[in-house]
Amino acid sequence: MFIYMTKKNGFCVQILAGGLGTRMKSELPKVLHEAAGIPIIGHILRAADAIKPEAIGVIVGHKAGLARQAVETGSAKWGITAPVEIFLQQQLTGSGRAVQEAMPFIGRFSEVLILCGDTPLLTAPLLDGFYAAFAGSGAAAAILTAQVPDPHGYGRIVKDRDGFITAIVEQTETDAETARITEINSGMYIFRTEALKTVINRLEPNGPKREFYLTDAVRLLAGAGLKIAAVPAPDREFILGVNSRLQLAEAEQLLRARKLRELMADGVTVKNPAATYIDEGVSIGRDSVVFPGTHICGGTVIGKNCMIGPNCHITDCELADGVEIKFSSVLLESRIGQGCSIGPFSHIRPGCELAQNAHVGNFSELKKAKIGAGSKVNHLSYIGDAEIGSGVNIGAGTITCNYDGVGKHKTVLGDRVFVGSNTNLVAPVTVAEGAHIAAGSTITDDVPAEALAIARARQVVKEGRYKKRP
């Protein structure tokens, strides 16, 4: 992972995240839609933070309260270390207006990188290269550009003989010559703040929507004889914006492909990348193998030499080395110790902890359960709100009856307890170490150490009662 280690003094990032996002057709602000497990704004913040600005500004507008809350609560989870300042765009009338309203923040710094709030494919190396090219150009501003095979709909970059930008020509204003230009404006800029201050308040509303365009600031600077550098992105993929559900799906596919390439480069085997879904925040150790149909989500951390899948779903879990998660198992917000085996068709619900070499098998479900080292819950059992010691064997069909209709209660099994098949443990109940529970029992009282508990009706056989009728 790229990390830019040196803070850029006097440099800030401003993210424009106030757009309406009408083509998303959603009650949720566009910047909060997730791609590869992280909201769009989270991806942009992570890339911006990695190049070490002194501060990051986020200007929000549509559904501002939701956007503000998401950034405030998510920044720590996304690993953001720079100070983040969030403020409201009062008038949603274009990028130029957003920057005008952001000037009290921007004006505290000597340089500003302005990013769109809908470009989740940005990377830290791209932004760092953009800044380095700007710093070495001596220009008053720089624009991140891209070469595209079909530039229709984009602003075209017009340059002078020295390669500096003289104009950005929008689609509606192109003539035969400019229409052939294939270098386009990404909508991302770096400005020297003093230069930006001279033109930002001279912007005037344009177009059918009477909006203020930041491209006009570039035109004004070029008209004043100042240099505007063009910095091409290595691939147009990096600057793709999300304006619809289709574009969101396309961006997510690209993000997931990047993540899988990164994992495989680090020594993880992914059997079928086209059918494997791993979120941006996931970590997997060397020599682990992920089988097709598997979803690994959130901040899941998986150790070395693990076997995952196929068709498993793991969210916000910690798996130690040598863990095997078998076919069609679901794990949520739990910790799995070294050498554990889970599945097939197991469901590990939030709050579970499995010590090393524990086994949970076919069609078994755990919820808020602690399972000790070497213990087994192998078949058709439900273990909830329980503390299970080491070396315990849970027979098939065992149920911890943890809910009495009003509250939840705890079941405690000591080390080396043996629980026979088809047992009901009616909580609160404790079975001390070394005790045995006979199959078919319903245990309502505590069982002392090394005891045998039998809690079932005596078998009665009435011969001939059900004699076959002719």
Give, rounded to a whole angstrom, the gap between the first and last alpha carbons of the chain. 79
Which residue in 299, 307, 358, 377 sits closest to 78, CA to CA? Answer: 299
- Whether 2 and 125 have beta carbons less than 8 Å apart is answered as yes
Q: How would you classify the pairing of strands 411-413 and 382-388? A: parallel
Question: Assign residue 405 a region: left if phi > 0, alpha if psi is -120 to 50, beta otherwise?
Answer: left
Instruction: List, in sequence order, the alpha helices (H) in 239-384.
Output: 245-265
- Whether 24 and 66 have beta carbons less than 8 Å apart is answered as no
Which residue in 106, 86, 87 sits closest to 196, CA to CA? Answer: 106
Annotation marks residue 379 as catalytic: yes
Asked if residue 428 has a cis previous peptide bond (ω within 30° of 0), the answer is yes
Give 38: exposed, middle or buried? Use CB within 10 Å, 0-12, 13-18, 19+.
Answer: buried
As a whole number of angstroms, the distance between CA 435 and CA 311 comes to: 38
Element (H or E) spanning 370, and its range? strand 365-371
As a whole number of angstroms, the distance between CA 439 and CA 290 comes to: 38
Element (H or E) spanning 113, and its range? strand 111-116
Please tell me whether residue 246 adopts helix, strand or coil conformation: helix
As a whole number of angstroms, the distance between CA 138 and CA 246 comes to: 40
Q: Considering 43, 347, 379, 436, which one is annotated as catalytic?
A: 379
Q: How would you classify the pairing of strands 399-401 and 424-426? A: parallel
Amino acid occupying residue 459:
Q
Strand residues in 136-176 grouped as ranges (E): 141-147, 156-159, 165-169
Please tell me whether residue 264 adopts helix, strand or coil conformation: helix
Catalytic residues: 379
